[in-house]
Structure 1
Amino acid sequence: MFFFEKPSAMRQLQRFFRSPSTVCVAAEGHLLTAQEPGDVRPEWKPWHFDALPIALDTIPVACGQGRSGQSHAPKIAAIRQALAGVERVIVATDPGREGSMIAWEVLEHLGYRGRIDRLRLGALDEVSIRRAFAQMAAEPESGERDYAAYLEALCRQYEDWHLGLNGTRAVSLRLRPPAFREPWRFGGVQTPTLALLADLERRIRDFVPRDFHKVALPVTVEDGAELVLWHAPKERIFDPAEAEAIRAAACSWRGPLAVEQKDVRRAPPKLFSKDTLARRCAKRFGWDPQVTARHAQDLYDRGFLSYPRTESEHLPESQARDAAAVIAASAAVLGALPVAAPDADEVVIRRGPRGHYVKDPGEHHAIVPLRKAPRPGEVGPEAWRLWELVAKGFLAAHLPDGIDARTTVAAEVATPLGPRRFAVSGSVVTVPGWRALYGAEADADAEAVPGKARRDDEPSAGRLPPVRDGAAAEGGEATVEVSKTEPPRRITRGEMPVVMGRLIDQVEDPQIRRALENPVNPNEPKGLGTAATRDAVLPKLVKSHYVALLGGKDPAIEVTEVGLAFIDAVRRVFPAYGDPVGRAVFESELAEIGRATTRVEATRRADAFRARTRARVEALIEAVAGAERLAVIPGAPPQAGGGPRRAPTAAMVGFATSLAARKGLRLPRGLKSDAAICRAFLDEHAGARAAGPREPAPDGGTSARSPSPAMLRYAASLARQKNLPGLPPEVETDFAACRRFLDAHAGPAEPEGKAAPKRPAGRTDKPKRAPRATAAPRPRRGRSGAENRPPA
């Protein structure tokens, strides 16, 4: 029996065998799902902290449901019937942990104990299928190794279930502030990912720009040519006096120019992994990474692309001989290209880590086109754009390097601070090479490191005038140009999977970078999650209101006040779950389960991991039980549904601003544009709803709470109306005294000798009602119709 993941793959392979003793089944995704706690034990359904931790040796499973809500029970029954009398099962699901789990969990559930082999289909074209059969025939223990991959996926599910269940309940019940009513969702991967984003968010918010200086020196060469040299060292000049000293010295410079000319080779970009393809599609087309993954999977299922859920950007050396045939097939449908596709003897093969072909690219190689290319109209327009992007990348990888002629003109200027180098560079394209395929897009696709500040560009002037080495020149009036440092860039939605996979690019400490290196495969450092699951993390963070997406084609990610408060709470109680690097190292240990060569070894490692997971959960619950709930949340959660936010009234903003000034508080981000955040701030720090922090008394204790500005304004208006000499001192400083004053003087009686104004015709006089006993009482309307009251 062949066990496929999708009917499309099953149809591709059924062309290769015709036998009455061979049957095929297709699962169409996971048929089994982990049961909810309340389905295991009824007492686990309510959220009670005393019931935690909830821990099981094995998570019970049940028949899942499809997207339409239909139960998978009939499919399970059909597979059970198909297994009757089967002596050998060939698992032909998508290669990878998840594909292995889809088949193995059903076979284990149904109690199958026969022989199992693994057919690893890296692509669904005829050549790849035949190679996969040959590899399976040469690997008699393929089933044993695939069982290890299944156990790794099962252990990941085991940890997700226990951490998500216990962590979410514990943190929500014990640490979540009362102002936030939705659960605080917790996860083994999503929480460290949020910590990474939160650290970047704080660096951005705390960033203070600084002026730095560059010195421009116009020079005239002996033959009359003119150009501008720059002193812009990597170690920026922050001291204006230092810049001025260099400028003054440069004005009187004269001497020889040093000219250096060299050819700079520019190799084509690497091939696509799942994460880098998602990043490119987000930048080019504005696609969500999940959209990219869906189109790539569809192209794989139809035999047009290799397996898409890969972390590798390299190909195995054994596939170098296929390049010419794949290029010819792709070029035949790509249409008119700016550069001709190379013939078989002209194809450039770059080997080694800096090239495209390596000895071992990892579990799955890079995403590449196949000999089978889609004909016009055979796939949808978006799928075509994706295939075209991958096909052009593959073609570029086999074209010659580009070559630029780069000229650098420099001068050494003596200054009171020592010699300083002034220089400018210019480049001219002499050989376009692979860049002819893209034109101007070749430079546009240069990828910056996510989460880092933009690098200073080297001073350049495009095409420089011809200057010979050693030519005499004379400086003119030098000037100082002032620039500002920039904060780190926010990570975008399309960059998020890349950041999770290449955590090593986000750290500067050499020791930490070494900890993130992967000795098993140096091309794939340790990261957060897997290529198959990273796309799902950001939507979970958005749904939990931990992060928000800003505007633009590829929106940047902003951590909300809720997300910052959540991470602060987690790190205060259990710092390990707020450590992205620690989690990446932990995940590499988890991957050791999948690398076991025998079923016995894989089972031993999996049992040890489950025991370790239960111990970590128990430690988490114990730490949360002894922690204090956060007293303050620095903002309010965004409105559910992501709809437009209502702006607060001007009175609310004014009240919040005066309250913050009086209490020395910092206004939360978004208060002036979001009424929910403004209201949460007022509820927390004003009125009788919140105890509020007491102001320190001179004796070191705490004094009575101060009245709000609205109460004081109302009390002052009453004093004027009743001709009182002024407010007693205690009314201005003591909340209770101010309350008593308002209760005593807010009655309906008017001051003696003062005539009551006429009321409008048809209006009936009603006795005025004293304001309710709240921290921010509602003053009565003045008879002129004007209002003097605190914000609603």
Structure 2
Amino acid sequence: MFFFEKPSAMRQLQRFFKSPDTVCVAAEGHLLSAEEPGQIRPEWKPWRLDALPIVLDTIPVGYGANRSGQSHAGKVAAIKRALDGVDRVIIATDPGREGSMIAWEVLEHLGWRGRVDRLKLGALDDVSIRRAFAALAREPDSGERDYAAYLEALCRQYEDYHLGLNGTRAISLRLRPPAFREPWRFGGVQTPTLAILADLEARIRAFVPRDFFKVALTLATESGAALTLWHAPKERIFDAAMAETIRAAAEGWSGPLRVEDRDVRRAPPKLFSKDTLARRCAKRFGWDPQRTAGLAQDLYDQGYLSYPRTESEHLPESQTGDAAAILGGLAEAAPDLAGHVPEPGALVFRRGPKGHYVKDPGEHHAIVPLRKMPRPGSLGADLARLWDLVAKAYLAAHLPDGIDARTSVSADVATPLGGTRFTVTGSVVKAPGWRALYGAEAEDGADTVPGKARRDDPAPLGRLPAVRDREDATATEARVETAVTEPPRRITRGELPVVMGRLIDQVEDPAVKRALENPVNPNEPKGLGTAATRDAILPKLLKSHYVALNTGKDPAITVTEVGLAFMTAVRRVFPAYGDPVGRAVFEAELAEIGRAATRAEAERRADAFRRRTRVRLDELIAAIAGSPVLELDPSLAPEPARGSGPGRGGAREVRPPTPAMVAFAEAVADRKGLALPRDYRTHAGACRAFLDLHAGARAPGGAGPPGGERPPSPAMLRFARSLAERRGLACPPETETSFAACRGFLDAHAERRSEGAGRPPERADEPARKPRGKPGGKPGGKPGRTRSTRVGKTAGPARRTRQGS
């Protein structure tokens, strides 16, 4: 019996089967789902801290449902009937842990104890299918090793289930301030991912722009040419006096120029992994990673692309022989690319980590087109755009390097500070190579590291005027130009999976970088989650109001006040769960389960992991139970969503500061001679962080900032702002931070209490209202309703999610 993941893949292979004894079944993703705690024990349904931790040796499962809500019970029953009389099962689900789990969890549920083998289908074209069967024949223990992959996936689910269930309930019940009504969701991967974003958010909010200086030197050469050289060192000049000293020395310079000519080779970009493909599609088309993954899976199911859920950007050296056939088909399927396809003897094969072919690319190689080509016009618009993107990358990988003729002109100027070099570089295309395939798009191929500030290095100019080496020149002008430092860039929606997978690019400490290296596969350093699950993390963070999306084709991610508060609580109570590097190392240890050589070894490692998970749960709950409620300004609690728009995923937009906050921040900056944050006018959090740092923060619970000044309450502020808006007044900046100033403004402009007949000032301009609620009850609520019952009602039980949440 062949066990497929979906009917489309089953149809691709059925044409190969001639024996009447061959049976085929297809799942529909996961057919079984974990039971909710309340279904296991009724006493686990209410959210109570004294019931935690909830720990199970194994997670009970029931029948899942398809997108239409129909139970998978019928499918499982059909598979049970198909197993009758079968003596061998061949798992032919998608390669990887997730595909292994889809089949094994059903076989285990049905009690199957016969022989199991694993057919690894890296692609669904005829050649790849035949190669997969040949590999199956050479691997008599494929089922044993695949069971290890299943156990790794099962352990990931086990940790996910218990961390999400216990962590979410404990943090929401014990640490979350009463004003915050949504559950504070917790997860083994999503929490460290939020930590990356929160740390970046803190650096951006704390960033204060600084002026730095570059010195320009304009020269006239002996032959009559004019050109401008620059002194812009990597270690920026922040001292204006130093820049002026260099300028003064350069102003009277004369002497020989140094001219260096060299050819610079530019190799084509790497092939696509799942995450880098998602990043490119987000940048080019504005697609979110889940949409890109769905389109790539569709092309894989049709046999046009190799397996898409891969972390590798390389191909095995054994596939160099496929290039000529694939590129020959490419010329027929995409006539606009035909003119760029070289003759078979002219193909370029770059080997090694910096090239495209390596001996072992890992479990799955890069995403590439296959021999099976789509007919022109047969694909939908988005499928065609994605296939074309992958096909171009594969073609470019086999084309010659681009070559630029680069000329550098430099002058060494003696200054009181020592020798100083001024340079200018000119570059012209000598041979386009692979860049002819992309045209102007080739310049967009070099992606910057997400979360880092952009470098302001001057781009090479075009062709420079003719200057001889050692030609004399004389300064005609020297000037100092001022530039401003930029904050780190926010990570975008399309970049987040890349950041999770390449955490090594986000750290600077050499020791930490070494800890993130992967000796098993140096091309794939340790990261967070798996390629198959990273796309699901951002929607969960958005749902929890921990982050919000800005606008744009590939919107940047901003951490909200809720997200920052949540991370503060986690790191105070259990720092290990707020450490992305520690989590990445932990996941690498978890991956050792899937690499076990035998079933017995995998089971031993899985049992040890489950025991370790239970110990960590006990420690987590104990730490949370002994911690006080986090004190936070109630006004930071998320407001109800105002609707969703394109690219927002239903999340709230980033809130701008009030005009009074902006005015007060500008007044503080002017009085103290400070530089304001870059986004203080558009980001309330950035403006508030500046005021907290330089004007005293609004402390929770009525405590004033240093100096004893008491801040106004949130209700007072809301009333002052609404009053100013109704009467067309300017709300003084001091009302934002001073109770006395806010009260004075209200006393001066609010209606007299006699007009309101004793009603509170917030309602003084409105008709009297009758209190809502039943007789004898509290106004606006049910009689006797307490805070604890309200919390228990609004915070529902944690739902079971796919692994990696």
Structure 2 length normalisation: TM-score? 0.84
* Residue 636 of structure 1: aligned partner: 637
* Residues in 1 aligned to 2:427 and 2:663: alpha-carbon distance in whole angstroms: 54
Structure 1 counterpart SS, 2:462 = coil
Match of 1:292 in 2: 292
Residue 764 of structure 1 aligns with which residue?
A: none
In angstroms, what is the RMSD of aligned CA positions? 3.4
Question: SS of the counterpart of 1:270?
Answer: coil
Return the letter of the residue paired with 2:427.
Answer: S
1:618 counterpart = 2:605: no
After TM superposition, give the deviation of residue 458 of structure 1 in Å: 3.7
Deviation at 1:696, TM superposition (A): 8.7
> Contact conserved, 2:411 with 2:423, CA < 8 A, in 1?
yes
Shift, 1:337, TM fit = 3.1
Q: Secondary structure, in 3 states, of the residue corresponding to 1:412?
A: strand
2:702 paired residue number: 692
Amino acid at match of 1:639: P
Q: 5 Å matches for 1:58-97? A: 58-97=58-97
Change (3 A) 1:706 1:160: closer
SS of the equivalent of 1:419 reads strand
Match of 1:424 in 2: 424
Q: In the aligned structure 2, how far is the partner of 1:508 from the partner of 1:654?
A: 39
What is the CA distance between 1:641 and its match in structure 2? 5.9
What code does the residue aligned with 1:549 have?
Answer: L
Q: Counterparts of 2:740 and 2:28 in 1: how far apart (Å)?
A: 70
State the partner residue of 1:166: 166
Report if aligned partners of 1:658, 1:709 keep a CA contact under 8 Å in 2. Answer: no
In structure 2, relative to structure 1, the CA distance for the partners of 1:79 and 1:537 (3 Å cut) is: same
1:304 aligns with 2:304: yes
Kept in 1: contact 2:160–2:188 (CA 8 A)? yes
Deviation at 1:693, TM superposition (A): 2.0
Distance 1:165 1:448 in 2: 38
Partner in structure 1 of residue 602 of structure 2: 602
2:610 counterpart SS class: helix
Distance 1:646 1:369 in 2: 39
Following the alignment from structure 2 to structure 1, what is the Cα–Cα distance between the partners of residues 459 and 540?
A: 43
- Matched-pair identity in %: 70
- Structure 1 residues 328, 469: closer, same or farther in 2, change over 3 A? same
Shift of 1:630: 1.2
2:124 equivalent in structure 1: 124
Q: Contact 1:697–1:703 (CA<8 Å) still a contact in 2?
A: no
Query: 1:753 is matched with which residue?
Result: none
- Name the structure 2 match of 1:751: none
Partner residue of 2:519? 519
User: Within 5 A, what are the aligned runs for 1:368-379?
Assistant: 368-379=368-379
Residues 588-611 of structure 1 show CA distances to partners (whole Å, capped at 9, x for unaligned) of 000000000100000000001011
Does structure 2 retain, via aligned residues, the 8 Å contact 1:195–1:578?
yes
- Residues 487, 704 of structure 1: alpha-carbon distance in 2 compared, 3 angstrom cutoff: closer
Superposed, 1:134-283 pairs within 5 Å as 134-283=134-283
CA contact (8 A) 1:424 1:459 kept: no
2:727 maps to none
**CA 1:383–1:693: 2 relative to 1, 3 Å:** same
Cα–Cα, structure 1 residues 325 and 213, in superposed 2: closer, same or farther, change >3 Å?
same
Structure 1 segment 567-606 matched on structure 2, within 5 A: 567-606=567-606
Q: 1:389–1:600: structure 2 CA closer, same or farther, 3 Å change rule?
A: same
Q: Which residue does the alignment assign to 2:504?
A: 504
Q: Distance in 1 between matches of 2:119 and 2:719?
A: 79
**Residue identity in the other structure for 2:758:** P
Contact 2:150 2:594 in 1 (8 A): yes
- Segments of structure 2 that go 5 or more residues without pairing to the other structure are 646-651, 669-675, 692-699, 721-738, 767-805
Change (3 A) 1:224 1:338: farther
Counterpart secondary structure, 1:414: strand
The equivalent residue for 2:465 is: 465
Residue 99, structure 1, aligned to residue 99, structure 2 = yes
Q: Structure 2 counterpart of 1:438, which letter?
A: Y
1:32 and 2:32 aligned: yes
**Once the 2 structures are TM-superposed, how far is the Cα of residue 459 of structure 1 from its aligned partner?**
5.6
Secondary structure of 1:405's partner?
strand
Spell out, residue by residue over 1:252-307, the C-alpha distance to the aligned partner (whole angstroms, 9 max, x if none): 10000000111111100000000000000001100011010000000000100000
Shift of 1:444: 1.6
Note the C-alpha offset of 1:141. 0.3
Tell me which residue corresponds to 1:477. 477
Aligned partner of 2:398 in structure 1 is 398
Work out the CA distance in 2 between the residues paired with 1:301 and 1:538: 26
Structure 1 range deviating more: 635-644 or 85-94: 635-644
Distance 1:178 1:575, change over 3 A: same
In structure 1, what is the Cα distance between the partners aligned to 2:479 and 2:705? 53
> Partner letter of residue 420 of structure 1?
T
**What one-letter code is carried by the residue in structure 2 that aligns with 1:173?**
L
Deviation at 1:472, TM superposition (A): 0.7
In structure 1, what residue type is equivalent to 2:585? V
Say whether the 8 Å CA contact 1:369–1:390 is kept in structure 2: yes
- 1:244 alignment partner, SS class: helix
Contact 1:197-1:559 within 8 A present in 2 as well:
yes
| Whole-Å separation in 2 of the counterparts to 1:418 and 1:495 | 43
Task: Say if 1:638 and 1:648 are closer, same or farther in 2 by CA, change over 3 A.
Answer: closer
Write the distance in 1 (CA, Å) between the matches of 2:173 and 2:566: 13
Counterpart residue number, 2:758: 771
Q: Which residue of 1 aligns with 2:769?
A: none
Change (3 A) 1:190 1:476: same
After superposition, the C-alpha distances for 1:539-570 in whole angstroms (9 at most, x for unaligned) are 11011111111011000101111101110111
> C-alpha separation between the residues in 1 aligned to 2:535 and 2:244?
51
What is the Cα deviation at residue 694 of structure 1? Answer: 6.2
Indicate how the Cα distance of structure 1 residues 647 and 777 shifts in structure 2: closer, same or farther if over 3 A, else same. farther
For 2:512, give the aligned amino acid. Answer: I
Q: Quote the Cα distance in structure 1 between the aligned partners of 2:523 and 2:618.
A: 36
Question: CA separation of 1:439/1:711 partners in 2, compared to 1, >3 Å: closer, same or farther?
Answer: closer
SS at match of 1:196: helix
CA deviation profile, 1:202-237 (whole Å, cap 9, x unmatched)? 111110111111110011110101110111111111
My pick for the range that moved more, 180-189 or 340-349, is: 340-349
Q: Following TM superposition, by how much is the alpha carbon of 1:456 offset from its aligned partner in structure 2, in angstroms? A: 2.2
**Using the alignment, how far apart are the partners of 1:598 and 1:706 within structure 2?**
64
Give me the whole-angstrom Cα distance separating, in 1, the residues matched to 2:404 and 2:108: 60
List aligned pairs for 1:329-348, cutoff 5 A: 329-337=329-337, 339-348=339-348
**Residue equivalent to 2:435:** 435
- Residue 108 of structure 2 corresponds to 108
Contact 1:746 1:771 in 2 (8 A): no
TM-fit CA distance, 1:378 = 2.0
Matched letter for residue 771 of structure 1: G
How far apart are the structure 1 equivalents of 2:262 and 2:666? 61
1:361-391 residue CA offsets vs partner (Å, 9 max, x unmatched) = 0000000000001012322110010000000
Following TM superposition, by how much is the alpha carbon of 1:20 offset from its aligned partner in structure 2, in angstroms?
Answer: 1.3
For residues 638 and 516 of structure 1, do their structure 2 counterparts lie closer, same or farther at Cα, with a shift above 3 Å needed?
farther
Q: What is the alpha-carbon distance in structure 2 between the residues aligned to residue 470 and residue 368 of structure 1?
A: 50
Cα drift, residue 529 of structure 1: 0.3
Write the letter of the residue equivalent to 2:463: R
For residues 326 and 712 of structure 1, the distance between their equivalents in structure 2, rounded to whole angstroms, comes to 69
CA shift in 2, pair 1:673/1:208, >3 Å: closer
Distance 1:325 1:697 in 2: 77
* Inter-CA distance 183–213: structure 2 relative to 1 (3 Å threshold): same
1:134 alignment partner, SS class: helix
8 Å contact 1:746–1:770 — kept in the other structure?
no
> Residues 696-707 of structure 1 correspond to what in structure 2 (within 5 A)?
none
Change beyond 3 A, Cα 1:704–1:60: closer
Structure 1: segments with no counterpart, 5+ residues: 682-689, 714-731, 749-767, 782-792
Q: How many residues align?
A: 720
Q: Is the 8 A contact 1:230 1:459 kept in 2?
A: no
1:640-679 per-residue CA deviation (whole Å, 9 max, x = no partner) reads 36448799999x97699999999xxx99x9999999x99x
How many angstroms apart in 2 are the aligned matches of 1:647 and 1:354?
Answer: 40
Q: For 1:16-52, what per-residue CA distance to the aligned partner results, in whole angstroms no more than 9, with x for missing partners?
A: 1111111000001000000000000011011111111
| Residues 115 and 703 of structure 1, relative CA distance in 2, 3 Å threshold | closer
